[in-house]
Amino acid sequence: MKHHAQDKDHHHRFYIDCYFHIFTNPEGIVINSKGEVEGFVNKLREKVQRGKFWKTQLERANDKYKANLSPQQSLVSKMWRLNQEMLSTQNKINEAMKEVLTPEQFKAYLLREAADRIEKEGEYRIADEYTENKRLIAIRYCETIIPVIEAKLTGFESP
């Protein structure tokens, strides 16, 4: 008897899970660059929700497009501004180091500091290039799928 109740409970959970997944919105955009719905559950959602599904996807695609239109402030410029703010502190540290190091050690210390800055700038530049590339890919993706989604929506709005 207890076994039968557990089976019944599992069936209820299964139906609740199915209902939840089919009638709720998917996470993010689930349309690939060919305009196809990705994933089994998302395909079910599209069949059940119809226009609502496509409207949600259009809103998300438009939001993603708008969010990526303007480039973000680069890490190099953020770090340059931060370095400017820390310059007086660094000057105090340098003065203290000058007091305890020999002239040769102090010169080597300054060169290591300069080398560290150059390496960091390179790392920030690479990160900036990666971020910008992702932004441009997102824009192209949205420019590809938005017209497809709009066409799908038009089909649901027609009499």
What's the first-to-final CA gap in the chain, in angstroms?
Answer: 53
d(CA 35, CA 148): 6
Q: Determine the average pLDDT of the residues in 96-118.
A: 92
Query: What is the chain's length?
Result: 159
Of the given ranges (67-76, 104-113, 114-123), which has the lowest mean pLDDT? Answer: 67-76
Whether the pTM exceeds 0.75: the reply is: no
**Rounded-to-integer distance, Cα 134 and Cα 75, Å:** 15
pLDDT at 68 over 90: yes
CA dihedral 15, 19, 20, 23 (to 10 degrees): 170
